[in-house]
């Protein structure tokens, strides 16, 4: 197995199981092989067999949880993570897998504890970790650094990122993460090292990370024209690989608006009668994390993070077999679902992470596509939509690295695609306001950061929450923030990102012309 001879391993495992069908290790290895071959459902089935035969083996539960997460079953993945944690794993690889699993299901404090334990164990090993590949060791330090970053331990995170880079200098994602941790200066930056690495990129993802890192540090130094050129270079190869289609995105947005017309709302069934969820939606990088932190500082609100649970429950309600969370076929079929059942299933899927406070926030930005269904399934849920200056919104999206395998964010690989996406988002939100008058609270980012007290009062009033002073000092509360805004929200409310786009001058002129022609700005 260590040498990658999967076919021979599989033959041996089958021979073992013919002799003893209860030999758990053979089942486990078959599960690993199935997972490496992309047979997700099969690997889950086999890992379940292994955990049944050997329920006290933490490695089996951790791997099962990993595959369940890949299969978009976060509730069950969390159950397996808890089982693994209870079994106190001692293997470094299992502890690292468990940490990653806990982080992905939102248990960030426990994830940090796992990574910290794994790093300490690695440092104490007599062999210096030589039995583990450099790639694995660097990956562990990267996971540890990211977890420290979420927890607000930025100096410690920088040290851990540097450790991962010292082990594997070509770990490009560590370089891009490191560049975001602080404001770079003329006397203290990483540009020399980053520019040397620019010539060593192999994959489009490498290019994306190094180009973004260089752009971030150049921007910190006020060299905006060079920074923009680096962003353009960073995204070129990834854009070709992604092959994003603006037309497909337009069809999705238009199709959703057409499906959820006045007729669909007129015939809607009665939904689930609960006011527990508070949905925070909008374009990414528009203040959704800031709003989440403000609200979760309230004694009655828990921040559940960016949940994919509502889209997943929609797909399950129509027995969708597609792997895409956002497809027109699912939206069309969802019109026939039982609204109350959908609402109940969604609330139940958020447990046991929720339920210990009167309300929780669900901060998945793309839930704005599901507002028609959310409005029907959860008629008492609060819906907050973040709005930000169109140019700043598009630039902020363009400056961000999103998950490579999530095609719905591939619009950010081209600046004008960002502009067209924004226009579709704006049309869709205007549609929801027409279909559900009074249901959605539009929160203007600029108003929040420039005059927070009255805006936060209005926000709490909309959510039917009493005033609590700590909502203005959210940056002082403990807890992890697992988004690209982790550093910013620790700094409290500030207005320095307002009108950021103006610093780039004429380089953004094509975007401005596109938005102006659509009525976003006066001629």
Instruction: List pLDDT tens digits, range 268-301.
Output: 778 999 999 999 999 999 999 999 999 999 999 9
Range of the domain at 320: 246-493
Return the structure tokens found at 380. Answer: 């008492």
With a CB cutoff of 8 Å and minimum separation 6, the contacts of 172 are 197, 201, 205, 206, 209, 210
Over residues 411-446, the pLDDT tens digits come to 999 999 999 999 999 999 999 999 999 999 999 999
Q: Alpha-carbon distance 175 to 104, whole Å?
A: 22
Is the pLDDT score of 384 beyond 60? yes
Within a domain: residue 423?
yes
Cβ–Cβ < 8 Å for 390, 422: yes
Question: What is the predicted pLDDT for the residue at 129?
Answer: 67
Q: How far apart are CA 110 and CA 391, in angstroms?
A: 39
What pLDDT score was predicted for residue 323?
A: 81
The answer to the question of residue 419 being in a domain is: yes
Phi–psi pair at 181, nearest 5 degrees:
-75, -20
Backbone angles phi, psi at 240, to 5 degrees: -65, -40
Number of domains in the chain: 1
Q: CA 343 to CA 377: how far, in whole Å?
A: 5
Number of neighbours of residue 86 by Cβ within 10 angstroms: 11
Q: For residues 281 and 364, give the distance between their C-alpha atoms in angstroms, rounded to a whole number.
A: 6
Across the range 58-67, mean pLDDT stands at: 97
pLDDT of 61 > 80? The answer is yes
Residue 143 maps to a domain: no
Residue-level pLDDT at 127: 76
Domain-located, residue 117? no
Burial of residue 472, with CB atoms counted within 10 A of its CB: 0-12 exposed, 13-18 middle, 19 or more buried = middle
Provide, rounded to the nearest whole percent, the portion of the chain with pLDDT above 90: 87
pLDDT at 475 over 80: no
pLDDT of residue 283: 97
Place of tokens 């307002």: 498
Cα separation, 146 vs 55, in Å, equals 31
Do the domain assignments include residue 385? yes
> What global pTM score does this model have?
0.90
Q: What is the mean pLDDT of residues 234-261?
A: 96
Domain of 303: which CATH number?
Answer: 3.40.50.300
> What pLDDT score was predicted for residue 167?
96
Would 516 be classed as within a structural domain?
Answer: no
| Rounded-to-integer distance, Cα 94 and Cα 92, Å | 5
Query: Which string of DSSP letters, residue by residue, matches 228-280?
Result: HHHHHHHHHHHHHHHT--HHHHHHHHHHHHHHTSHHHHHTPPP------EEEE
Q: What are the φ/ψ torsions at residue 41 (nearest 5 degrees)?
A: -60, -40
The answer to whether the bond into 352 is cis (omega within 30° of 0) is yes
Lowest model confidence (mean pLDDT) among 43-47, 121-125, 233-237, 461-465 = 121-125
Considering the domain boundaries, does residue 17 fall inside one?
Answer: no
Q: Is residue 84 part of a domain?
A: no
Q: At 68, list the tokens.
A: 């369940």
What is the arithmetic mean of pLDDT over 306-310?
A: 94
DSSP H/E element including 440: strand 440-444
Q: What is the pLDDT of residue 201?
A: 95
Q: pLDDT tier at 491 (50, 70, 90 boundaries)?
A: low
Residue among 487, 503, 508, 504 nearest 149 (CA): 487
| pLDDT tens per residue across span 151-201 | 999 999 999 999 999 999 999 999 999 999 999 999 999 999 999 999 999
**pLDDT class of 473 with cuts at 50, 70, 90:** confident
Cα angle vertex 271, ends 265, 274, to 5°?
Answer: 130
The helix (H) or strand (E) run that includes residue 135 is helix 134-150
């Amino acid at each position: 197995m260590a040498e990658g001879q999967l076919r021979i391993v599989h033959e041996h495992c089958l021979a073992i199981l013919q002799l003893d069908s209860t030999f758990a290790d053979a089942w486990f290895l078959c599960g690993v092989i199935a997972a490496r071959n992309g047979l997700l459902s099969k690997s889950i089935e086999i890992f379940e067999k292994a955990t049944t035969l050997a329920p006290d083996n933490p490695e089996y539960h951790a791997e099962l949880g990993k595959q369940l997460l890949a299969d978009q079953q976060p509730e069950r993945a969390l159950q397996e993570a808890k089982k693994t944690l209870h079994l106190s794993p001692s293997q470094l690889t299992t502890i690292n897998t468990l940490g990653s699993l806990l982080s992905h299901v939102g248990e960030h404090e426990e994830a940090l504890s796992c990574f910290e334990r794994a790093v300490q164990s690695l440092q104490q090993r007599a062999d210096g970790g030589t039995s583990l590949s450099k790639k694995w060791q660097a990956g562990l330090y990267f996971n540890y650094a990211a977890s420290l970053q979420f927890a607000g331990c930025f100096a410690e995170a920088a040290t851990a990122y540097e450790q991962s880079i010292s082990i594997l200098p070509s770990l490009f994602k560590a370089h891009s993460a490191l560049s975001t941790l602080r404001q770079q200066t003329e006397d203290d930056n990483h540009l020399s090292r980053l520019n040397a690495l620019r010539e060593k990129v192999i994959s489009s993802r490498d290019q994306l990370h190094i180009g973004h890192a260089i752009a971030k540090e150049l921007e910190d130094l006020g060299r905006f024209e060079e920074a923009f050129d680096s962003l353009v270079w960073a995204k070129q190869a990834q854009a070709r690989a992604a092959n994003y289609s603006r037309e497909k995105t337009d069809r999705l947005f238009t199709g959703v608006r057409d499906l959820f017309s006045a007729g669909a709302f007129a015939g809607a069934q009665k939904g689930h009668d609960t006011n527990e969820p508070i949905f925070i939606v909008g374009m990414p990088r528009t203040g959704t994390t800031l709003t989440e932190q403000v609200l979760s500082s309230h004694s009655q609100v828990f921040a559940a993070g960016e949940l994919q649970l509502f889209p997943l429950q929609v797909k399950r309600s129509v027995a969708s077999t597609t792997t895409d969370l956002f497809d027109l076929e699912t939206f069309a079929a969802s019109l026939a679902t039982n609204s109350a059942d959908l609402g109940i299933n969604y609330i139940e899927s958020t447990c046991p992470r929720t339920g210990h406070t009167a309300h929780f926030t669900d901060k998945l930005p793309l839930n704005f596509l599901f507002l028609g269904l959310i409005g029907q399934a959860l008629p008492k849920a609060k819906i907050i939509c973040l709005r930000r200056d169109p140019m700043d919104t598009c630039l902020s999206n363009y400056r961000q690295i999103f998950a490579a395998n999530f095609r719905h964010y591939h619009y950010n690989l081209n600046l004008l695609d960002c502009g067209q996406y924004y226009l579709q988002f704006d049309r869709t939100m205007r549609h929801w306001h027409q279909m559900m008058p009074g249901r959605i609270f539009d929160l203007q980012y600029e108003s929040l950061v420039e005059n927070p007290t009255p805006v936060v009062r209005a926000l709490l009033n909309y959510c039917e929450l009493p005033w609590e002073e700590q909502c203005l000092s959210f940056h002082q509360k403990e807890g992890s923030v697992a988004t690209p805004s982790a550093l910013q929200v620790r700094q409290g409310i500030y207005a320095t990102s307002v009108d950021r786009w103006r610093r780039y001058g004429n380089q953004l002129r094509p975007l401005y012309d596109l938005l102006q022609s659509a009525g976003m700005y006066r001629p």
